[in-house]
Structure 1
Amino acid sequence: MSDRLTLSGGASVSAFPPLPREPGFAVYVHWPFCAAKCPYCDFNSHVRHQAVDQERFASAFTREIAVMAARSKGQTVTSVFFGGGTPSLMKPETVASIMEAIAANWTVAPGAEVTLEANPSSVEAERFRGYRAAGVNRVSLGVQALHDEDLRRLGRLHGVTEALRAIGLAREIFPRLSFDLIYARPGQSVAAWEAELNRAIDLAADHLSLYQLTIEEGTPFHALRAAGKLQVPDGELSADLYQATQDLTRARGLPAYEISNHAVPGAESRHNLTYWRYGLYAGVGPGAHGRLMGEGGRYAIATERHPETWLRMVEDWDSGIVTDDLLNRSEEADELLLMGLRLSEGIDLPRWRRLAGRDIDPSSEADLAEHGMIERLGPDRIRATPAGMMVLDAVVADLC
């Protein structure tokens, strides 16, 4: 049987077998540096006007990986994700060094998914081939828009031409490809978004991440909106844009498997499913988060956010860990609910019950179901409906 499919409209995509329900074990690697800070971004990303000492950082990653591996003995890595920041600013040699450290400290499953985020402005064919040689088999491109004017508004350093070139190179070099788009942008209509989304699906391989623009406190966009200089779609239009996204991707063969993520069935992000299925994962690098088992249960771990401070901490003490908290069962149950209800597959109720020590409140469930916010998938699974996904924080609060 062929390992390729064709979507309506002609896009060729990889075919994959159904994914197992087990979360797997993931390693997240945070590269915190960017060429420029986007005005909507509140991620832990930093601009440096001097060259970053990548060899020194790679050595620090290796040391922190050893610490995280010692706390997760016996785990088999099923996915690795290089996020940021802009990981495509890393030299291929830096990526290779980190991958070698991961393989030296854990068992890596055959066919493990290895994803690297890339910005079209920092894409070069030679560098992409270097990442592929280092073990990267999936790339996630930060395209964000297919309109030059909107890319400028979003503070992106690339234009549509560069984005299309990056998509083409990625499809040639990597077995799997995803790219991001932001919608609910200033002045965007449903019709304009549908046209852009159709074009994106024609370009897509097997996965798209489609995010509504959110205005985060502390960002330049937040200040502009407060000053009346930035207007984004209101709640009703945002809801229409969201619904159009769900309808169109489903019709074109990339249904939503999570609030903002769409894939050919079987081509979902293995790494992100580890998070949403509430699996265990190690986070390394400045500002990385992890969930690892230890004495007494599951620990929430986070590292120092400031890159150079993290670097000095690792060089002095082997890791940059600043948070290392044992979660109680109630906290674990709340996290499982918050993460799992993002998925179209929902959550396993017996697993939630074992953590929470109780059943979900039947009256709260009945009220949410009556209002079309949640639904049962048989006796042991529950999920948010598309309407519930739009107000998920409120749904989770009611169920807790």
Structure 2
Amino acid sequence: MTLFMRPGPEVVPFTPPDRQPGFGVYVHWPFCAAKCPYCDFNSHVRHKPIDQDRYAAAFERELKEAARRSPGETVTSIFLGGGTPSLMEPKTVARILDAVAANWPVAGGAEITMEANPSSVEAERFRGYRAAGVNRVSLGVQALNDEDLKRLGRLHDVAEALRAIRLARETFPRLSFDLIYARPDQSVEAWEAELTQAIDLAADHLSLYQLTIEQGTPFYALHKAGKLIVPDGETSAALYEATQQLTAARGLPAYEISNHAVPGAESRHNLTYWRYGLYAGVGPGAHGRLMKDGVRHAVANEKMPETWLKMVEAWDSGAVEDEPLSAEEQADELLLMGLRLAEGIDLARWRRLAGRDIDPDSESDLRAHGMIERLGPDRIRATPAGMLVLDAVVADLA
């Protein structure tokens, strides 16, 4: 029996109460066709076909267990991330979405996002994903020139990316795509030209990430050996500032450090994280924040897909961590997540968690240096300058 509401002629956006985080469900599909040299996500390459029926059944079991842990919630967003979720068959996606709807009420017009790679084979599945209930796609484009796509280890070229963007715009009500900047040898002028092209292609949302060199990746080894040179701090700051200025001028201002949208088209699911809401995470390596006996818990799953699968089949859960968070830890997480947002954080909520006020001397010093600003009596946010050193700002405030 089909439980998930399939698309009608229109999708009416779900509009929650002002700045309420909602409740999200994150589903992690851990498999990729190839591992990108910059990626430190929980993704795995398998050279034999994946038993999708078996994994779908495991997702169904873990979703049921997650719902048992979060009674009374209404799902406002679902995010199929990875890995490469667009390696799933549409029928697998349909089973997962039906399992969500079998275990929680799903808000009308809830945002249902799938990450996808723009290879031609995967793009042809878009109509099947739309029929399954997906109403927003996030494409991993990463660059709009073939030389850098090859350097980043991507399997598609620019022509395939443009085709996927076109097909996504024709198929889904909402589209986002990712680009990586601060790439080797990239100038501000070259990035501005590429970003202008991206804005012309975008529907309502762009995710724009600076290249980071993560330990344990091939890029880390190359960088350490001096064979991969990325822009220095001054150039990276100039690239960031150019990004903010150009997107704002073109009607897609930053609502979070790396995310830009037409007002009203922000990622509902990611706002749940940044507004410090609750969410269930299912699948290998997925994380969640759920309540247990009135206390917020940090939940993390086993990363290795085959081990996670056996755990779920035996015990209905692949969790390897399920730790209560102290009030202080929650207050720190609220700062870390909320100050990423242009809207900032509600200090009254922070005080309820921390049991104290923000240190006035720390706040005064950060304001004097132009790192944070007040938005009324009970809300603060990081300034553009503060966003560039956000970890330090959070550490000072915490």
TM tier relative to shorter chain: over 0.9
Shift of 1:121: 1.5
After TM superposition, list the pairs within 5 Å mapping 1:37-186 onto structure 2: 37-121=35-119, 123-186=121-184
After TM superposition, list the pairs within 5 Å mapping 1:217-228 onto structure 2: 217-228=215-226
Preserved contact between residue 88 and residue 123 of structure 1 (Cα < 8 Å):
no
Q: Aligned with 2:119: secondary structure?
A: helix
State the alpha-carbon separation in 1 of the partners of residues 348 and 307 from structure 2: 43
After TM superposition, list the pairs within 5 Å mapping 1:193-212 onto structure 2: 193-212=191-210
What RMSD in Å do the two structures reach over aligned CA positions?
Answer: 1.3
Q: Aligned with 2:317: secondary structure?
A: coil
Aligned to 2:20: 22
Deviations 1:299-328 (A, max 9, x none): 000110000000000011111010000001
After TM superposition, list the pairs within 5 Å mapping 1:271-310 onto structure 2: 271-310=269-308
Q: Aligned with 1:363: secondary structure?
A: helix
Deviations 1:236-277 (A, max 9, x none): 000000000000000000000000000000000000000000
Cα 1:261–1:62 change in 2 (3 A) is same
Choose 114-123 or 284-293, whichever is displaced more. Answer: 114-123
After TM superposition, list the pairs within 5 Å mapping 1:260-279 onto structure 2: 260-279=258-277
State the alpha-carbon separation in 2 of the partners of residues 143 and 394 from structure 1: 31
Deviations 1:108-153 (A, max 9, x none): 0000000000001255454111100110000000000000000000
State the alpha-carbon separation in 2 of the partners of residues 18 and 127 from structure 1: 29
Shift of 1:79: 0.1
Shift of 1:197: 0.2
Q: Which amino acid aligns with 1:204?
A: A
Aligned to 2:3: none
Q: Aligned with 1:214: secondary structure?
A: coil
Q: Which amino acid aligns with 2:248?
A: R
Cα 1:352–1:249 change in 2 (3 A) is same
After TM superposition, list the pairs within 5 Å mapping 1:317-396 onto structure 2: 317-396=315-394
Q: Aligned with 2:125: secondary structure?
A: helix
Preserved contact between residue 12 and residue 109 of structure 2 (Cα < 8 Å):
no
Choose 38-47 or 19-28, whichever is displaced more. Answer: 19-28
Q: Aligned with 1:120: secondary structure?
A: coil
State the alpha-carbon separation in 1 of the partners of residues 99 and 12 from structure 2: 31
Structure 1 regions of 5+ residues with no counterpart? Answer: 1-13
State the alpha-carbon separation in 2 of the partners of residues 139 and 298 from structure 1: 30
Cα 1:18–1:135 change in 2 (3 A) is closer
State the alpha-carbon separation in 1 of the partners of residues 266 and 157 from structure 2: 27
Q: Aligned with 2:353: secondary structure?
A: helix
Choose 121-130 or 389-398, whichever is displaced more. Answer: 121-130
Q: Which amino acid aligns with 2:180?
A: I
Deviations 1:212-241 (A, max 9, x none): 000000000000011010000000000000
State the alpha-carbon separation in 1 of the partners of residues 66 and 218 from structure 2: 35
Preserved contact between residue 375 and residue 382 of structure 1 (Cα < 8 Å):
yes
State the alpha-carbon separation in 2 of the partners of residues 270 and 80 from structure 1: 9
State the alpha-carbon separation in 1 of the partners of residues 123 and 58 from structure 2: 28
Shift of 1:15: 11
Deviations 1:308-353 (A, max 9, x none): 0000000111110100000010000000000000000000000000
Aligned to 2:242: 244
Aligned to 1:10: none
Cα 1:15–1:182 change in 2 (3 A) is farther
State the alpha-carbon separation in 2 of the partners of residues 256 and 267 from structure 1: 12
Preserved contact between residue 280 and residue 291 of structure 1 (Cα < 8 Å):
yes
Structure 2 regions of 5+ residues with no counterpart? Answer: 1-10
State the alpha-carbon separation in 2 of the partners of residues 124 and 287 from structure 1: 23
Preserved contact between residue 13 and residue 109 of structure 2 (Cα < 8 Å):
no
State the alpha-carbon separation in 2 of the partners of residues 123 and 81 from structure 1: 21
Cα 1:98–1:18 change in 2 (3 A) is closer
Q: Which runs of 4+ in 1 moved over 2 A?
A: 14-20, 122-126
State the alpha-carbon separation in 2 of the partners of residues 182 and 18 from structure 1: 30
Q: Which amino acid aligns with 1:187?
A: D
Preserved contact between residue 24 and residue 76 of structure 2 (Cα < 8 Å):
yes
Q: Aligned with 2:75: secondary structure?
A: strand
After TM superposition, list the pairs within 5 Å mapping 1:4-15 onto structure 2: none
Q: Aligned with 2:126: secondary structure?
A: helix
Q: Aligned with 1:210: secondary structure?
A: strand
State the alpha-carbon separation in 1 of the partners of residues 121 and 248 from structure 2: 30
State the alpha-carbon separation in 2 of the partners of residues 288 and 181 from structure 1: 23
